[in-house]
Amino acid sequence: MQARHGAGDPRGTIPPGFFVDDDTSGRQLGKGGTLGCVAVLLLLSMLLGGGALVLLLSAKAPVRARPQPASAIETRQPEASTQSPLAIEALPIASADNLSPLPAAAEEPRTTDLNVVWKAKVTSGNGIPVGTACELAVSAVSLDGRLKSALPRLTCKGRVLYDGSHSNPTSLSRTLSEVAGDTDTTYRYRVKLDEQTEAEDTEIHLDSTSGEGRVSSTLAPEYDVKLELDELSSEHTGPALYTSSEGPRPCRRALRRNGVVTKVVGASPVAPGMACQLTVVPSLQQSSGDCYARTRVRCGKTILYGAGTGGFGPCTAADGAIATFLDDEGSPDDKDPMATLDVATRWLEVRDERSVNDDGTQQTSTHTVEIRLDPAPASVPSASR
């Protein structure tokens, strides 16, 4: 089989057994071409000498390529890949929708420091003159709305009668009740103390709800006195000591009014024309939707309503302020008179019905007191005045 060039190629047909070096710039080597070259070399050898013939033959004689059988030539086609294409898994793209939120930083515990005082005075006893002005101070701390410590200190005219931080009491009961102040963001407190020192040489019993207390000591100089103290402490501006006191409530402010007795019916401890003081303090430990308060009416030295631990009842409010108060149970039911208050009309009524025994016969004593209130708020009454 002969290899052929394309049509029109001057090189024509190439005999079998020869290879073409296309990189010889068109030069061809065949049998006829080789004989011609040998003749030229012989002629040059005659002219130059026999030694040049060997050199020229060594330098110019072409190397004849060995023919290869066609069966030795392989044409390798690229094999089709049997492997599956590489599967590329799509990675999720980060966005605000699929990002996990970072863990919230731990909140710092809320600490509330409280420093309040109650005014008091000596009413009876020995070791300290009657009428001596006293002050009960309490320093308290709450953590996340829970009371952690409360340290009382009672002084009378500069003399320390009791110091809760140094007493090391064996019996201890300290209670602080939080109530509404005169504004939406202020608070006042009731206190109750019952404790005795380890050596049993000093003890104190106080309850500002009843307004009474007693403190005594066998250490020289000895004393044993009874006290009258304010129901409520000095005012504290928030945050509240207890978390239960916070949040929206219908009654957020205490009510204080002065007034005068205008009418008395029956056997009453007060008379017309007597000056009176009204205090209504909402409780903050009730349900957030309820309005519940303690009312106290004092005329002169007489507590007409709210004596002892009484005076509690339901109320209504307008814009956070007390609007009405009602206690429709008399002394036979709760050991306290009945009371009705309407702030809008400035009207307050206290009445009571109680049964008494007189020589074996049962009689009913009834009295009613009406009080006209001033339109302007009053100052906070104090036991020390």
Cβ–Cβ < 8 Å for 116, 232: no
Average pLDDT score, the chain: 77
Does a structural domain hold residue 350?
yes
One domain, residues 123 and 207: yes
Does a structural domain hold residue 98?
no
Cβ–Cβ < 8 Å for 99, 75: no
Q: Name which residue leads in pLDDT, 52 or 254.
A: 254
Residue 200 belongs to what domain range? Answer: 111-237
Cβ–Cβ < 8 Å for 226, 214: yes
Does a structural domain hold residue 271?
yes
| Mean pLDDT value across residues 192-203 | 88
Judged against a pLDDT cut of 50, whether residue 284 lies above it is answered with: yes
Does a structural domain hold residue 336?
yes
One domain, residues 216 and 275: no
DSSP 3-state of 126: strand
- Report d(CA 115, CA 117) in Å as an integer: 7
User: In the structure, what pLDDT confidence band is assigned to residue 303 with cuts at 50, 70 and 90?
Assistant: very high
Give, as one character, the DSSP assignment of residue 301: T
One domain, residues 30 and 59: yes
Judged against a pLDDT cut of 60, whether residue 24 lies above it is answered with: no
- Hey, which residues does 203 pair with through a beta bridge? 196, 216
At 82-94, the pLDDT tens digits run: 555 545 455 555 5
One domain, residues 266 and 335: yes
Q: Name which residue leads in pLDDT, 295 or 1.
A: 295
* Helices and strands counted in the chain (H then E): 3, 21
Does a structural domain hold residue 183?
yes
Does a structural domain hold residue 55?
yes
One domain, residues 37 and 157: no
Which of 23, 39, 63 is where one domain is finished?
63
* Cβ neighbours, 10 Å, residue 320: 15
Does a structural domain hold residue 92?
no
- Report d(CA 225, CA 222) in Å as an integer: 10
Residue 50 dihedral angles phi and psi, to the nearest 5°: -65, -30
One domain, residues 36 and 142: no
One domain, residues 171 and 219: yes
One domain, residues 293 and 231: no
Cβ–Cβ < 8 Å for 286, 254: no
At 231-267, the pLDDT tens digits run: 999 999 978 998 878 777 788 899 999 999 999 999 8
Residues above pLDDT 90, as percent of the chain: 45
- Vertex 327 angle, CA 322 and 330, to 5°: 155
Pairing of strands 292-299, 275-282: antiparallel
The per-residue pLDDT for 116 is 97
The per-residue pLDDT for 71 is 41
User: In the structure, what pLDDT confidence band is assigned to residue 28 with cuts at 50, 70 and 90?
Assistant: very low
One domain, residues 40 and 158: no
Which of 173, 208, 237 is where one domain is finished?
237
One domain, residues 159 and 56: no
Distances (CA, A) of 362 to 324, 357, 358: 35, 5, 6
One domain, residues 118 and 220: yes
Question: Residue 116 contacts by C-beta under 8 Å, 6 or more apart in sequence?
Answer: 137, 138, 188, 189, 233, 234, 235, 236
Q: What would the DSSP string read from start to end of 36-92? A: HHHHHHHHHHHHH-HHHHHHHHHHHPPPPPPP--GGG---PPPPPP-SPPPP-PPPP
DSSP 3-state of 246: coil
Number of compact structural domains in the chain:
3
Does a structural domain hold residue 71?
no
One domain, residues 45 and 26: yes
Residue 23 tokens, joined: 């990189």
Judged against a pLDDT cut of 50, whether residue 35 lies above it is answered with: no
Which of 237, 260, 282 is where one domain is finished?
237
